[in-house]
Amino acid sequence: MKRLGRMIPGVIVTSSLLLPAGHAAGQSQEAGAPLELKYLGAAGWEITDGNVIVLIDPYVSRLKYGGGGHPDDDRPDFARDDIARSDTDLIDSIVSRADFILVHHGHFDHLGDVPYIAAKTGAKVIGTETTITILRAYGIPEEQLYAVGGGEDYRFDGFSVRVVPSIHSALGEKHYFDSRRYDRDSELEAPLRIDQFIEGGSLMFVARFDRHEVLTMGSMNFVERELEGLRPDILLAGINGSRLGLYNYDERLLTVTGNPPIIIPTHWDNFRLPYGFSQEANVARNLVPFVETVATISPGSRVISPTHLETIVIP
Ligand SMILES: [Zn+2]
């Protein structure tokens, strides 16, 4: 876990040495604002280049649901067939503005807080038809909603995003598979139950900021041919246990993406625990071995291990 200097509490500033000469397309280090990435936990991020604010799978509520919580966590237990709730006070304390929300898939730990955040911020949301159908059920206005299938490459004011077809983590020892989808004919009535937040297909995104290209992941899986030729300078890499059941996951991922100079593990924590709870077990299980692996298979890459609600600054 490499941290190169902590300038102010909660903000990790990376050294410019992280960026090999010639990356960031010949722009000088002085030009433009740095990229700031705040880790929201699970697969959630707030990323800004000072111009646009982009949220990725912003899941803040961290409900204790469907098992896997902690006995010391005295918050209420939610079953999967309970009505989904967002902790709106907590969201309000963390998320104030957003221009775009990119959603990898429809599961609750990705999409669960997006209805509230989209309504609150007016942000444009890009996701699968299932994701968009759920948001429609919550009354999010059509002009905010962009249903995509994968392969789109959209330009907006000061920001562009390529949508990359992907696949979900191989949960349940690889027995997970869910082909259900929602569309305009689906009868959904908000608020939904937690188990109505179905996957609905999975995506990745190439998010292009002022001086950085971020390849995002929301799962511990990918379609290798869809990543060929992508050269992000920052990879948000899905790093959790289920990837160990895949063939050479770490090596294939880093090789096909051109050994990105900066790799930031995502979705590595236990998202059923509130912020502030120890994540030591997941750090030991997921982050530490990954850092060691990258040092071996991609020695030119630097891994920055994120901490909840702290901001990583890339010059
Ligand atoms: Zn999922």
First to last CA, the chain: 19
How far does residue 59's CA lie from ligand 1's centre (Å)?
12
Instruction: Say what angle helices 114-121 and 129-137 make with each other, to 10 degrees.
Output: 70
How far does residue 219's CA lie from ligand 1's centre (Å)?
7
pTM over cut 0.85:
yes
How far does residue 167's CA lie from ligand 1's centre (Å)?
10
How far does residue 28's CA lie from ligand 1's centre (Å)?
39
The CA-CA-CA angle for residues 20, 26, 30, to 5°, reads: 85
Closest CA to 211 of 43, 55, 16: 16
How far does residue 46's CA lie from ligand 1's centre (Å)?
19
pLDDT tens for each residue of the chain, 315 residues long: 333 333 334 455 554 444 443 344 444 445 678 999 999 999 999 999 999 999 999 999 999 998 877 888 999 999 999 999 999 999 999 999 999 999 999 999 999 999 999 999 999 999 999 999 999 999 999 999 999 999 999 999 999 999 999 999 999 999 999 999 999 999 999 999 999 999 999 999 999 999 999 999 999 999 999 999 999 999 999 999 999 999 999 999 999 999 999 999 999 999 999 999 999 999 999 999 999 999 999 999 999 999 999 999 999
How far does residue 193's CA lie from ligand 1's centre (Å)?
15
Q: How many whole angstroms separate alpha carbon 146 and alpha carbon 125?
A: 6
How far does residue 1's CA lie from ligand 1's centre (Å)?
26
How far does residue 22's CA lie from ligand 1's centre (Å)?
36
Token pair, residue 210, equals 């002022």
How far does residue 168's CA lie from ligand 1's centre (Å)?
6
Closest CA to 39 of 315, 304, 277: 304
Long-range contacts of 89-96 (CB under 8 A, 24+ apart): 90/60, 90/61, 91/60, 91/61, 91/116, 91/117, 91/120, 92/120, 94/40, 94/60, 94/309, 95/46, 95/55, 95/58, 95/60, 95/120, 95/121, 96/121
What is the set of domains in the chain, with CATH numbers?
A: 32-314 (3.60.15.10)
How far does residue 142's CA lie from ligand 1's centre (Å)?
25
How far does residue 287's CA lie from ligand 1's centre (Å)?
20
Instruction: Write the Ramachandran bin of 90: left for phi over 0, alpha for psi from -120 to 50, otherwise beta.
Output: alpha
Identify the sign of the CA torsion 46, 52, 57, 61. positive
How far does residue 217's CA lie from ligand 1's centre (Å)?
11
How far does residue 80's CA lie from ligand 1's centre (Å)?
14
How far does residue 164's CA lie from ligand 1's centre (Å)?
16
Q: How many whole angstroms separate alpha carbon 88 and alpha carbon 57?
A: 16
